[in-house]
Amino acid sequence: MAATTDSQDESPHMMLWRLMIAAGLVLAFLAALVLTFRLAHDNAARTLTERLEISARSRVQTLESVLAKQRAVATVLSDDAAVRLALIEPSEANVSRVSQKLERLQDQTSSAVIYLLNSDGVAIAASNWHDPDSFVGMDYSFRSYFSDALLKGEATQFALGTVSTRPGLYLSHDVPQQDETLGVIVVKVEFDAMEQGWAQAAETTLVTDDTGQVILTSTPRLRFGPLPPVPAGRVSARLDVPGAGWTLWIRAPSTEAVRAALLAAGTVGFLFTLLLAGGFWALRARTRAARRAETERRYRADLERAVAERTRDLSEEMRERRTAEQRLTQLQGEMVQANKLATLGQITAGVAHEVNTPLATIRLLAENGRHMLPAGDTPDLDRNLSQILRMSDRIAQITTELRGFARKATGELAPVSLKDALDAALLLTASRRRAQSVRLILPEIPPGLRVLAETVRLEQIMVNLIQNAQEALEGRPDPEIRIALCDDGPMLRLSISDNGPGLPPQIAANLFTPFATSKPEGLGLGLVISQEIARDFGGSLTAEPPCQGQGATFHLDLPKAP
């Protein structure tokens, strides 16, 4: 009877112990799922925020470039002699001359409209002088950009147009004459194209002024309202627009982060379930050990073998994952470097553009100086001013080529002058070639010889090939680059050779493979991109097989234009 009582007392105790173990496992499982979800979500959200910050920097640079260009237009016009004359003597001829000039500038600078206000705020000349809704004769004295420009010299205002009812930024600058202000020049900039580009992206883009009012947006219904709060489930990034007092905001849904977190939590849950199932089956096996000792031994041996195989599989998966993570880190570094190079190209194009304004002023002053010299009295001074004019023209030519090279390719093929494209590429690479004293041998290219290509991308191929040749000649005692032309049949061949050390066999084998490079700072993308561009043109880019003691030679085959 005592043995029976002990057995009855032990059964509820063991059952309670097993329930506690099961409850502990369930709690541990739920805690692991929550922790995994939070860590994965935070990591994915950080990655998404970093991507938004990169997009914000790119859009701020575009806005800053547009504002700087339009401010330069207002500044230059405020010092224009024809503008001053029209304000001093507002005759029909003087006013018409200024209106025609403003019309040309509006077309060249992509401004919405440019107009000139007299000291009373009445428009006397405008780029839309010939339109039915011309600004000429309209009174804008009530606008703050007019009154602020009279007081401070320049002003900005974002508002709806009184005639066009279209939103835009008004940039104004006074037209001074000694100690008085003759009038105000106004440049209106509209951002419709930029906002349409933002609207096509998945993110929401907003720009607020210094009062927190939305002025530019990919969602037009939010314009001129306060900045809305960040909705739940969205990630936000912000960046100030230098020199404008504006702030750019980018918001994107955090769906990616939630999806990544759910996937990670599901994976952990699956693995935990596998472990729990294995423990359950092991426990069942142990309860049957007393009756099936031999069967349990064979079962345990099979289970251990399966666990060992699974462990090997997991170890192999972990090694593959580490290898993939290392490759991802390397690719991210290379993409950051490519973004830096693209940003540097935008900065170079912007500097080339900004140089033109002071350069035009220098040239204008030099020409005025020559006209003011007494005839024949100062030959040395006249010679110096002539030299300044020649150097100004040369700088203008260089900046023009830089801006043309930085311009975005259209992707449309058309007849392109081969000589003009080669001359532009040589001009862009001339500074380093002169520093190395490289001898350049050029072919005779007929001015009328044209190929079926796209100007910007063709120049990109030539600049890349010439720069590679110049880098291969670094430290050579007698550097030489030879460019040859073979015009035979529907295709022509442009060959670029150097007398450098040539291509090592291991490099030549992977020459057109992405990210394969021998340069410490190189990306290994230049030749790959150039080859793809040549194929888009219907041509090809190849390299001669390496030969001991000879430099490298590249052949660019292009279809001739009909």
Tell me the percentage of the chain whose pLDDT exceeds 90.
22
Check if the beta carbon of residue 106 is closer than 8 Å to that of residue 69.
Answer: no
Check if the beta carbon of residue 186 is closer than 8 Å to that of residue 172.
Answer: yes
Architecture of the domain whose range is 410-559: 2-Layer Sandwich (3.30)
- Which has more confidence, 24 or 103? 103
Lowest mean pLDDT among 14-28, 403-417, 429-443: 403-417
List residues bridging with 253 in a β-sheet.
Answer: 234
Residue 155 CA to residue 459 CA, distance in Å, equals: 41
Domain-by-domain residue ranges, the chain? Answer: 79-190, 410-559
Non-local CB neighbours of 502 within 8 Å, separated by 6+ positions:
546, 547, 548, 549, 550, 551, 552
What fold is seen in the domain 79-190? Beta-Lactamase (3.30.450)
Phi-psi region of 6 (alpha: psi -120 to 50; beta: other; left: phi over 0): alpha
What number is the average pLDDT over the span 481-510?
87
What are the CA-CA distances from residue 94 to residues 86, 352, 368 (Å)? 5, 33, 21
pLDDT at site 161:
86
Check if the beta carbon of residue 118 is closer than 8 Å to that of residue 93.
Answer: no
Please check the confidence at residue 488 and state whether its pLDDT lies above 60. yes
Which of 391, 416, 480 shows the shortest CA–CA distance to 442? 480
Q: Phi, psi at residue 490, to the nearest 5°?
A: -75, -15
Q: How many CB atoms lie within 10 A of CB 450?
A: 19
Considering Cα of 467, then 473, then 474, then 479, what sign does the dihedral take?
negative
Radius of gyration of the chain (CA): 36
pLDDT (tens digit per residue) in 177-224: 888 899 999 999 988 888 888 888 878 898 998 888 898 888 888 888
What number is the average pLDDT over the span 75-88?
90
